[in-house]
Amino acid sequence: MMIRKFKFLLPLIFAVSLLISFQTKATTDPKDKALLTILKYVLTQGHYSPQEIDDTFSENVYNRFLESLDPAKRYFLQSDIDEFSAYKKLIDDQINSEDLTFFYLVYERLTQRIEESKPYYKQILATKFNFDNNDTYDVDYTKINYPKNVEEKIKVWHKQLKFSTLSRLNDKITIENDKKKEDNTYTVKSFDELEKESRETTLSNMDDAFIRIQELTYSDWFSTYINSISEEFDPHTTYFDPSVKKRFDISMAGKLEGIGARLQKKNDYTKVSELISGGPAWKQGDLEVGDLILKVAQGNGEPLDIVGMRLDDAIEYIKGKKGTEVKLTVKKIDGTISVISIIRDVVELEETFVKSSIVKKDDRTFGVINLPKFYIDFDEKNFRNSATDMAQEIERLKAEGAEGLVLDLRNNGGGSLQTAIEISGLFINKGPIVQVKYRDRDADVKSDVDAKIHWDKPLVVLVNELSASASEIFAAAMQDYGRAVIIGGKQTYGKGTVQSVLDLNRYHNLKEDIGALKMTIQKFYRINGGSTQLEGVHSDIMLPDRYTYMNIGERDLENPLKFDKVPQANYTIWNNYENFNEAINNSKKRIANNTYFKLIDKNAKWLKKSQDDTLVYLNYEAYKNDLEFHENESSKYDVLRDYKSDLTYTSPLYEKELIANDPDLAEKRTAWHKNLKKDLYVEEALNVLSELKIKPQYHLVKN
């Protein structure tokens, strides 16, 4: 659980985690009962892996629903849970009989408990906190029991509000000290003054939180219950109520404007799950996948806590018009807190297109191709797509004498299956590339039918834990054919499922819109029969990185579909390398003896240890020392940022004329080549590429 991994996030939970509607008691609505029946029908009949709606299913829904409403166990009393538990194994029966008794009971009790809790924060924040006491608090919520009575509940609120205020107090002290450094005549505010200001800021944020609570509707929380049911099938199966469905349609049809990042809800937190290639955050460079966004400020405005806020609401504060500034306070995966300034913009499509570089290594010429996504436009037949662009780029590199090719698919989240198949076909003779399977059907083998091989020289494919979907299909095909050495992280993302959005209104004749369901309907399988689900693609050569010891990807989600196999497709291994295994073993030896890779691995272990530390300090000095410790530990790895290889990267000849007439393109390529020189992973990929040899008889056969 992400909650227990990030111990410095607790202070921000309070301001916005009270996402409970204060509306009047729920009423029996025929639409709600109809939705329950339709949902059951669609999921059991259409989902790729239907679940048996039984007592086990019921218990899982029960736990998921309560955790989604009160993850930090600060509202419900143990007596409430004891009462709710009578329904733990009855939810399946209630689904079958259109009975919403459990939902109504929990919803109304929660509303009652929240209303009772409203005075707590005002009372607690009216009194000065003592930050000299050696208090601590463990934010692993699995270790926390529900309070037995109001007195215990108030103690929980007191500790959490105290920590929330302590976080702000430390920020204010830091600002005051910075002002003193800039201006020696500046009079620093006293500790007591700053403590009072911090409590007032916490109070203001809590007041704002309750205003936002009142804006939520009954439908929002009924949707939470419905999603507790749908997500028991898998984490990608999600219910969209009518308002959410409209926003989804707009986001699919419209241009991406904002910071260019995909966000997901991880318990109380807004987590960066993907950076959109060509987007503002991607270009700015500081925001990373795995970062947790804690606060959002509009320009120089007061930061707003978004921990605990519904994802839709958090996104509303983060996105904005082109040219405006947003400042994100984020919890980095290394345990440090950073403020990242991003100027909102539209995603530049050009940055998602294939680009290549010529690299000189030991008087030999190689090519590096970066493919940020598998793009295609189905509405415009003449619009460029990744397959035709890749073929063209390969021909250009061949013309410049490239002896080998590194194809960089790091952070490529996928895209068009069709182009993944076609790009695979550029490197092999015709044959199967991927298997696609519907429920209760045999897998359908998708093949490349073009016998032409565009690139017959050595190939290395560079991946990481964020290479997903179509990237995994391509990498898996190259690995199964033995066509390329796959080099990168422990494994790729591991998403081997396909979703479709289904309009639920087709199943009823009510006058009201009941929304839609995004549901998993297919699964991908490699030509060797194994699924890419969960397992992804394991690298032939594993390079340590920041995510090595973390669960990043599909396996980090709750309740993902399992890995399984189908029969192997009929294919012939390429088998034209003279020293495939030798090149791999040589690389493993280099990596084991490389000082920088050793340091990266050490850093990765420390990151994991830091995430597993769930104890927070309520003593100011202990809190400050703990923060400084993490900052000092993080600084030990700054040397990794200073690394620079002796390789030379240049644009291919065709692009040099374009660069001469386009200063913006020139600036982008200069920045890319600068980053390539500092890229340890590309350098090792080129080391492998330079060693790979094609069998002489292969060239004889071709000639």
Token pair, residue 460, equals 């290395």
* Residue that is last in its domain, among 346, 380, 412: 346
- The Cβ-side half-sphere exposure at 437, using a 13 Å CA radius, reads 25
Question: Is a pLDDT exceeding 90 seen at residue 162?
Answer: yes
Give a yes or no: residue 249 inside a domain: no
Tell me the pLDDT band of 15, cut-offs 50, 70 and 90.
very low
Give a yes or no: residue 242 inside a domain: no
Q: Are residues 311 and 198 both part of a single domain?
A: no
Q: Are residues 331 and 367 both part of a single domain?
A: no
Give a yes or no: residue 247 inside a domain: no
Q: What is the pLDDT of residue 263?
A: 83
pLDDT tens for residues 419-463? 999 999 999 999 999 999 999 999 999 999 988 999 999 999 999
What is the torsion angle, in degrees rounded to the nearest 10, for the CA atoms of residue 621, residue 627, residue 631 and residue 634? Answer: 130
Q: What is the pLDDT of residue 379?
A: 58
The backbone region for 267, taken as left when phi is positive above 0, alpha when psi lies in -120 to 50, beta otherwise, is: left
Q: How many domains does the chain have?
A: 3
Tell me the pLDDT band of 214, cut-offs 50, 70 and 90.
confident
Q: Are residues 395 and 330 both part of a single domain?
A: no
Question: Is a pLDDT exceeding 60 seen at residue 573?
Answer: yes
Tell me the pLDDT band of 13, cut-offs 50, 70 and 90.
very low
Q: What is the CATH number of the domain that holds 326?
A: 2.30.42.10
* Residue that is last in its domain, among 233, 267, 302: 233
Question: Is a pLDDT exceeding 70 seen at residue 593?
Answer: yes
| Residue 697, number of CB atoms within 10 A of its CB | 10
Cα 256 from Cα 251, distance rounded (Å): 7
Question: Is a pLDDT exceeding 70 seen at residue 122?
Answer: yes
Q: What is the pLDDT of residue 127?
A: 96
CA angle 689, 695, 696 (to 5 degrees): 120
If you write DSSP's letter for every residue of 278-322 in order, what string do you get?
TSHHHHH----TT-EEEEEEETTSPPEE-TT--HHHHHHHH---T
More confident position, 536 or 320: 536
Mean pLDDT calculated for residue range 496-514:
89
pLDDT tens for residues 352-382? 789 999 999 999 999 999 999 998 875 555 6
Q: What is the CATH number of the domain that holds 459?
A: 3.90.226.10
SS3 category, 239: strand
User: Is-contact 685 487, C-beta < 8 A?
Assistant: yes
Tell me the pLDDT band of 512, cut-offs 50, 70 and 90.
confident
Q: Are residues 585 and 510 both part of a single domain?
A: yes
Give a yes or no: residue 209 inside a domain: yes
Q: Are residues 59 and 195 both part of a single domain?
A: yes
Tell me the pLDDT band of 262, cut-offs 50, 70 and 90.
confident
What DSSP element (H or E) covers 97?
none
DSSP conformational letter for 48? S
Give a yes or no: residue 628 inside a domain: no
* Residue that is last in its domain, among 168, 199, 233: 233
Tokens 């009462």 correspond to what residue?
83
Tokens 């992400």 correspond to what residue?
2
Q: Are residues 207 and 266 both part of a single domain?
A: no
User: Could you report how far apart the first and last alpha carbons of the chain are, in Å?
Assistant: 58
User: Is-contact 241 230, C-beta < 8 A?
Assistant: no
Question: Is a pLDDT exceeding 80 seen at residue 629?
Answer: yes
Burial tier of 330 (Cβ tally within 10 Å: 0-12, 13-18, 19+): buried
Interacting residues of 89 by C-beta distance below 8 A, sequence separation 6+? 55, 58, 59
Q: What is the pLDDT of residue 5?
A: 36
Catalytic residues: 469, 480, 495
Q: Are residues 142 and 43 both part of a single domain?
A: yes
Residues spanned by the domain of 551 = 353-593+637-702
User: For 120-129, 192-201, 293-302, 387-396, which range has the lowest pLDDT when averaged over its residues?
Assistant: 293-302
Q: Are residues 552 and 581 both part of a single domain?
A: yes
Tell me the pLDDT band of 338, cut-offs 50, 70 and 90.
confident
Give a yes or no: residue 338 inside a domain: yes
Question: Is a pLDDT exceeding 80 seen at residue 73?
Answer: yes
SS3 category, 127: coil
Question: Is a pLDDT exceeding 80 seen at residue 700?
Answer: no
User: For 20-34, 83-97, 570-584, which range has the lowest pLDDT when averaged over its residues?
Assistant: 20-34
Angle formed by the axes of helices 653-660 and 663-677, to 10°? 130
pLDDT tens for residues 134-158? 999 887 877 889 999 999 999 999 9
Nearest to 358 by CA among 350, 347, 369, 348: 369
C-alpha R_g of the chain: 27
Strand-strand pairing, 136-138 and 497-503:
unpaired
Interacting residues of 574 by C-beta distance below 8 A, sequence separation 6+? 428, 481, 482, 483
More confident position, 550 or 311: 550
Counting every residue written for the chain, the total comes to: 703
Q: What is the mean pLDDT of the chain?
A: 88
pLDDT tens for residues 388-419? 999 999 999 999 999 999 999 999 988 889 99
Q: What is the pLDDT of residue 11?
A: 40
What DSSP element (H or E) covers 389?
helix 386-399
More confident position, 16 or 121: 121
Q: Are residues 421 and 570 both part of a single domain?
A: yes
Distance of CA 413 to the CA centre of its chain: 10
Give a yes or no: residue 611 inside a domain: no
Interacting residues of 311 by C-beta distance below 8 A, sequence separation 6+? 263, 264, 265, 270
Tell me the pLDDT band of 307, cut-offs 50, 70 and 90.
confident
| Residue 579, number of CB atoms within 10 A of its CB | 14
Token pair, residue 513, equals 């819109």
Q: What is the pLDDT of residue 274?
A: 78
Q: Are residues 69 and 186 both part of a single domain?
A: yes
Q: What is the pLDDT of residue 701?
A: 53
Q: Are residues 458 and 366 both part of a single domain?
A: yes
pLDDT tens for residues 83-96? 999 999 999 999 99
Backbone φ and ψ for 699, nearest 5 degrees, come out as: -70, -35
Give a yes or no: residue 499 inside a domain: yes
Token pair, residue 511, equals 């006058």
Angle formed by the axes of helices 191-215 and 101-125, to 10°? 160
Tell me the pLDDT band of 559, cut-offs 50, 70 and 90.
very high
Question: Is a pLDDT exceeding 80 seen at residue 258?
Answer: no
Q: Are residues 332 and 362 both part of a single domain?
A: no
